[in-house]
């Protein structure tokens, strides 16, 4: 049988010429190299080598070991590079040059494709926020009074964002209030040790390309000038550490031990057909957040969460109350500037149905209703468990645009 060319993809391959996500890879035969790659089917194009070979004006930007310079170059450059890539991969005239520059994904190592600047995590699913409110604060209202007036978020830890495939070591910490009895002269101590309630959170993250100046809010209309692309994200969460530490300042060590992102950043332009209106707003919004007359800011991404290969949830991103467009406007309204590499995540994606919940805290209702999996029941994650998020979006002409997966395996706590 003649070897099929990697340039001849089946029609409607979800990593076809309408997608073209960016990553950074090391070829197995050159372990010291880091190259910008573009995924095409199950292959990766060495984008820097391709640009040099055809004499592209963007050869220097694509010949880097990280996406940051390309991300900083701005939307007109992103558009031009995307057009070039599409031409190289689909036009017969480029075939002899481009074909040898495609490598099977199985022969490369993928890296965190950009240097993360700041990392912010929002809380944008009304279903998730209401469920967590009911679980953590059963005596109060599920949503806090501010929730429908602004996208609630917190600053996470940029330095512990890791690429898909990185093992996630079970964190240790204070697991709750002291439970033992105090004796005269000795107060009881909080229990300390490896988290017993380790969870995942299925999220979608947005990567900032173009920076913004200090003291200059980015309006809703500025989103497409600043945001380079989208990737799946797993905000690993230790629920015992979190529920003890979070009052009154919010998530801290219960979430900062690791956050996994996909190795592939999907350009916003690849998701044009997936743009959709968010759910109706229940309260009027301040002008800087009011998107009623704006382009639809939601995205129709269909996520699947699998534990050890078994699907456990299908969260719909289209159901998110707050959009990434509003989140960007909110996080700059006080004058905070954006840097290339800023990463902001949606918050856990949960839909209205039980099988659409994006974390085990909700899926098992804090451990009350264990999940039945072929390998045994789960309340929270066990050592060795592997969590994988995948997603697709509607593309042009009934095609699908796949997002790169994010996966991670739980490793035992280290003393």
Residues making contact with Ca ion (CB under 5 A) = 121, 201, 235
Q: Is 251 one of the binding residues for ligand LGMQ2O6W (CB under 6 A)?
A: yes
| Nearest distance from C-beta of residue 204 to ligand LGMQ2O6W, angstroms | 11
| Nearest distance from C-beta of residue 189 to Mg ion, angstroms | 26
Q: Of 37-45, 63-71, 229-237, 392-400, which part binds Mg ion (CB under 5 A)?
A: 229-237
Q: Which helix (H) or strand (E) holds 238?
A: strand 237-238
Binder of residue 209, out of ligand LGMQ2O6W, Ca ion, Mg ion, none (CB less than 5 to 8 A by kind):
none
Q: Pick from 327, 331, 330: which is nearest to 347 by CA?
A: 327
Which of 98/116 has CB closer to Mg ion? 116
| Nearest distance from C-beta of residue 249 to Ca ion, angstroms | 16
Give the number of other Cβ atoms within 10 Å of residue 166's Cβ. Answer: 17
Q: Is 310 among the residues known to form the active site?
A: no
Which of 235/362 has CB closer to Mg ion? 235
Q: Is 121 one of the binding residues for ligand LGMQ2O6W (CB under 6 A)?
A: yes
Q: Is 203 one of the binding residues for Mg ion (CB under 5 A)?
A: no
Contacts of 411 (CB under 8 A, 6+ apart): 167, 168, 169, 170, 383
Q: Which helix (H) or strand (E) holds 72?
A: helix 68-72
Which of 35/239 has CB closer to ligand LGMQ2O6W? 239
Binder of residue 407, out of Ca ion, ligand LGMQ2O6W, Mg ion, none (CB less than 5 to 8 A by kind):
none
State the angle between helix axes of 47-54 and 75-90 in degrees (0 to 180), rounded to the nearest 10.
80
d(CA 355, CA 271): 25
Catalytic entry in 128, 226, 314, 330:
128
Binder of residue 128, out of Ca ion, ligand LGMQ2O6W, Mg ion, none (CB less than 5 to 8 A by kind):
ligand LGMQ2O6W
Q: Pick from 367, 346, 355, 347: which is nearest to 315 by CA?
A: 355
Q: Is 348 one of the binding residues for ligand LGMQ2O6W (CB under 6 A)?
A: yes
d(CA 83, CA 95): 16
Under 8 Å between Cβ of 387 and 306: yes
d(CA 43, CA 364): 38
| Nearest distance from C-beta of residue 82 to ligand LGMQ2O6W, angstroms | 30
Q: Of 46-54, 171-179, 181-189, 231-239, which part binds Mg ion (CB under 5 A)?
A: 231-239
Among residues 66, 136, 304, 373, the one that binds ligand LGMQ2O6W under rule CB under 6 A: 136
Binder of residue 132, out of Mg ion, ligand LGMQ2O6W, Ca ion, none (CB less than 5 to 8 A by kind):
ligand LGMQ2O6W
Q: Which helix (H) or strand (E) holds 267?
A: strand 266-267
Helix (H, G, I), strand (E, B) or coil at 98: helix
Numbers of helices and strands, H then E, in the chain: 10, 26
Q: Is 235 one of the binding residues for Mg ion (CB under 5 A)?
A: yes
Q: Is 259 one of the binding residues for Mg ion (CB under 5 A)?
A: yes
Under 8 Å between Cβ of 23 and 264: yes
Parallel/antiparallel/unpaired status of strands 43-46 and 35-40: antiparallel
Parallel/antiparallel/unpaired status of strands 168-169 and 400-411: parallel
Q: Is 342 one of the binding residues for Mg ion (CB under 5 A)?
A: no
Which of 235/362 has CB closer to Ca ion? 235
Q: Is 103 one of the binding residues for Mg ion (CB under 5 A)?
A: no
| Nearest distance from C-beta of residue 359 to Ca ion, angstroms | 8
**DSSP states of 325-365:** HHHHHHHHTTSPPP-TT-EEE------SSGGG--SHHHHTT
SS3 content of the chain, % helix, strand, coil (to 5): 25, 25, 50
Q: Is 132 one of the binding residues for ligand LGMQ2O6W (CB under 6 A)?
A: yes
Which of 121/291 has CB closer to Ca ion? 121
**Hey, which residues between 130 and 189 contact Mg ion (CB under 5 A)?**
none
Q: Of 49-57, 70-78, 121-129, 207-215, which part binds ligand LGMQ2O6W (CB under 6 A)?
A: 121-129
> Could you list the active site residues?
128
Q: Which residues of the shown chain bind ligand LGMQ2O6W in the complex (CB under 6 A)?
A: 121, 123, 128, 132-133, 136, 201, 235, 246, 251, 347-348
């Amino acid at each position: 049988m003649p070897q099929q060319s990697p340039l001849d993809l089946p029609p409607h391959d979800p990593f076809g010429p309408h997608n073209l996500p960016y990553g950074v890879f090391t070829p197995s035969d050159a372990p010291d190299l880091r190259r910008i790659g573009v995924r095409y089917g199950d292959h990766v194009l060495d984008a820097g080598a391709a640009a040099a070979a055809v004499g592209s004006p963007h050869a220097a930007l694509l010949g880097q070991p990280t996406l940051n310079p390309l991300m900083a170059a701005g939307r007109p450059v992103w558009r031009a590079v995307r057009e070039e890539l599409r031409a190289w991969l689909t036009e017969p005239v480029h075939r002899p040059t481009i074909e040898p520059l495609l490598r099977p994904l199985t022969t490369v190592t993928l890296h965190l494709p950009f240097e993360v600047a700041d990392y912010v995590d929002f809380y944008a699913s009304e279903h998730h926020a209401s469920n967590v409110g009911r679980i953590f604060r059963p005596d109060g209202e599920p949503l806090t009074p501010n929730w429908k007036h602004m996208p609630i978020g917190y600053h996470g830890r940029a330095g512990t964002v890791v690429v898909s495939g990185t093992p996630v070591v079970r964190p240790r910490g204070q697991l709750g209030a002291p439970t033992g009895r105090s004796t005269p002269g000795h107060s009881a101590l909080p229990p300390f040790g490896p988290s017993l309630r380790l969870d995942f959170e299925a999220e979608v993250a947005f990567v900032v390309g173009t920076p913004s100046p200090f003291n200059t809010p980015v309006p809703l209309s500025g989103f497409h000038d600043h945001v380079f692309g989208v990737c799946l994200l797993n905000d690993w969460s230790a629920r015992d550490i979190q529920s003890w530490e979070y009052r009154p300042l919010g998530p801290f060590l219960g979430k900062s031990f690791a956050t996994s992102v996909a190795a592939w950043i999907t350009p916003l332009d690849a998701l044009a057909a997936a743009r959709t209106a968010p759910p109706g707003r229940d309260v009027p919004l301040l002008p800087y957040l009011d998107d009623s007359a704006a382009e639809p800011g939601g995205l129709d991404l269909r996520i699947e969460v699998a534990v050890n290969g078994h699907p456990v949830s299908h969260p719909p991103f289209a159901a998110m109350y707050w959009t990434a467009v509003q989140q960007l406007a909110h996080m700059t309204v006080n004058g905070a500037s954006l840097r290339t590499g800023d990463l902001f995540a949606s918050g856990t994606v949960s839909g209205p149905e039980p099988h659409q919940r994006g974390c085990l805290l909700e899926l098992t209702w804090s451990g009350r209703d264990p999940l039945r999996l072929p390998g045994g029941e789960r309340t929270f994650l066990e050592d060795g468990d592997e969590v994988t998020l995948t997603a697709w979006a509607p593309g042009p002409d009934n095609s699908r645009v796949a997002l790169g997966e994010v996966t991670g395996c739980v490793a035992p706590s280290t003393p």
